[in-house]
Amino acid sequence: MHRQKAFVMPTIPDHPQRYTIVNELHARPFPSLTVPSHAVFLAIKEPIEAVNRDRAIDKAHLLALLDRHGGAHPQPEATHFFGDIGRHELKWESHTEFVTYSAFAKGNSARAFDPVEAEVFPEDWLTMAPGKRLCSVLIRVEEMPADESEVLAKLEEWFVPESLAVSKVVDGAAIVAGDFRIDPAGHMRFAVFVRGDTGGRRIGRIVQRLCEIETYRSMSMLGLVRARSLTARLNALDPQLSGLVSALDGQARSPEAVLHELLTISAELESLAVKYSFRFGATAAYEAIVNQRIEVLREQRLQGRQTFGEFMMRRYDPAMRTVKSAEGRLKSMSERAQRAAELLRTRVDVERSAQNQKLLESMDKRADLQLRLQRTVEGLSTVAISYYAVNLAAYALEPLAHAVHLSHGGLMAVLTPLVLLGVWLMVRRIRNHFD
């Protein structure tokens, strides 16, 4: 029998980024949590829109926290890290506009949502943060009681009933709840009641989804603040623009002055579009992430209570529609101003064309008048030239006239018609040449 020859893959160089782009798929694993446990989540962002912020400062802030606990350091160019700080597991991620810290630990405090749990991030370390606190979340993970009424009793004690959102998620594997309010200690609270047979990775995914929902909800709501300031400015510009558009067919003001004002408004609208385009684009992206994160929870209603999706539909979606309305209004006003400016430019061009036509007609009349005057003067010029020419010719021919016994008067009489005829022919020839 012939031995089967082993297949050897031909040697070929790898793309320099091959392993990097593959490892990126596995770079942000979900935590694996047990029951009971708790999580502390923190998001830090610069108040200004600093997309190209100094990530080295964020990394130095992370290293300061790790060094307090003698933890390992991440890779120099890493944008995420998972390691231990004391009895907590720390997850750090650097995003486009913000950085997040997640700390997970086993067990729960006797007091639900005890602010002491947040001391994993020391106060003096927080004061050195390169930014401001955008989100601070406490998540309590407990085992799900057999009786759902016990869950509702705890939720009514922990949260504000009016804004409480609660639902079964991930095919009934857990019950999640929160009221999206900030407690006196400055934290937002979420409770997770987990069924006994739920795996640690699934619990970690649920907790991670709650953190992401709150983070991206907060980031998208920044667009609402910007939309309100933009709306105030658009409210001031809209009457001005409408007044200028209404005056396009009027004669009270010169088109040049109206066009100058239109261009001023157009320039300001364009400046506003540049100023707000990034925030509005980011808001749309964050809104999509929030909706996607809620969708993957696969919510089921719990005893008639409002779900996270319903809470967002009532409280969150109107804010996003306001942002989209402001963005659309800015775009519409920019287009109106541009169309009005184009119409006014057309009007100015037409009026200038009419003025140029009148100017050309005036120039034609002047040229015709000048030509007539020139032809009138031509006769006088012929007489003047002939006068001098006759005298010059008489001086030149006078010796010959004496020889033939022709008097000076007779010579002048002979020369005058000849010179006049010659000068007239010469002038006529020159004029015909130029014509």
3-state SS, 72-93, equals CCCCCCCCEEEEEECCEEEEEE
Distance (Å, rounded) from C-alpha 404 to C-alpha 381?
A: 33
pLDDT band, residue 34 (cuts 50/70/90)? very high
- The residue written with tokens 């003047």 in the block is 384
Q: Which residues of 133-165 are buried (b: 16+ CB within 10 A; e: fewer)?
A: ebbbbbbbbbebeeeeeebbebbeebbeeeebb
**pLDDT of 372 strictly over 90:** no
pLDDT band, residue 411 (cuts 50/70/90)? confident
Q: What does the pLDDT look like over 103-119, one tens digit per residue?
A: 999 999 999 999 999 99
Q: What does the pLDDT look like over 216-229, one tens digit per residue?
A: 999 999 999 999 99
Mean pLDDT of 393-412: 76
Residue, of 302 and 416, whose pLDDT is higher: 302
Structure tokens at 209: 């989804």
pLDDT band, residue 52 (cuts 50/70/90)? low
Distance (Å, rounded) from C-alpha 221 to C-alpha 318?
A: 11
Residue, of 273 and 353, whose pLDDT is higher: 273
pLDDT band, residue 306 (cuts 50/70/90)? very high
Picking from 173-182, 296-305, 312-321, 391-400, which range would have the lowest pLDDT averaged per residue? 391-400
**pLDDT of 184 strictly over 70:** yes
Q: What is the pLDDT of residue 380?
A: 66
Residue, of 83 and 383, whose pLDDT is higher: 83
**pLDDT of 367 strictly over 90:** no
**pLDDT of 84 strictly over 80:** yes
Q: What is the pLDDT of residue 250?
A: 65
The type of residue at 71 is G
Q: What is the pLDDT of residue 50?
A: 58
Task: State how beta strands 188-194 and 132-143 pair.
Answer: parallel
Q: What is the pLDDT of residue 216?
A: 97
pLDDT band, residue 174 (cuts 50/70/90)? very high
Q: What is the pLDDT of residue 4?
A: 55
**pLDDT of 388 strictly over 80:** no
**pLDDT of 189 strictly over 80:** yes
**pLDDT of 5 strictly over 60:** no
pLDDT band, residue 27 (cuts 50/70/90)? low
Burial class (CB in 10 A: 0-12, 13-18, 19+), 265: buried
Mean pLDDT of 301-312: 94
Mean pLDDT of 230-254: 83
Q: What is the pLDDT of residue 1?
A: 46
**Highest mean pLDDT: which of 13-27, 257-271, 370-384?**
257-271
Average pLDDT, the chain: 87
- The residue written with tokens 């739920």 in the block is 198
Q: What does the pLDDT look like over 64-83, one tens digit per residue?
A: 999 999 989 998 888 889 99
**pLDDT of 10 strictly over 70:** no
Q: What does the pLDDT look like over 324-352, one tens digit per residue?
A: 999 999 999 999 988 888 887 787 777 77
> pTM, whole model, 2 decimals?
0.77
Q: What does the pLDDT look like over 120-141, one tens digit per residue?
A: 999 999 999 999 999 999 999 9
Listed in sequence order, the residues at least 6 apart from 130 whose beta carbon sits closer than 8 Å to its beta carbon are: 44, 46, 53, 54, 57, 58, 61
Q: Please choose, from the candidates 31, 80, 36, the residue with its C-alpha nearest in 3D space to the C-alpha of residue 58.
A: 80
3-state secondary structure the chain: CCCCCCCCCCCCCCCCCHHHHHHHHHCCCCCCCCCCEEEEEEEEECCCCCCCCCHHHHHHHHHHHHHHHCCCCCCCCCCEEEEEECCEEEEEEECCCEEEEEEEEECCCCCCCCHHHHHHCCHHHHHCCCCEEEEEEEEEEEECCCCHHHHHHHHHHHCCHHHCEEEEECCCCEEEEEEEEECCCCCEEEEEEECCCCCHHHHHHHHHHHHHHHHHHHHHHHHHHHHHHHHHHHHHHHHHHHHHHHHHHCCCCCHHHHHHHHHHHHHHHHHHHHHHHHHHHHHHHHHHHHHHHHHHCCCEECCCCCCHHHHHHHHHHHHHHHHHHHHHHHHHHHHHHHHHHHHHHHHHHHHHHHHHHHHHHHHHHHHHHHHHHHHHHHHHHHHHHHHHHHHHHHHHHHHHHHHCCCCHHHHHHHHHHHHHHHHHHHHHHHHHHHC
- The residue written with tokens 């700390």 in the block is 103
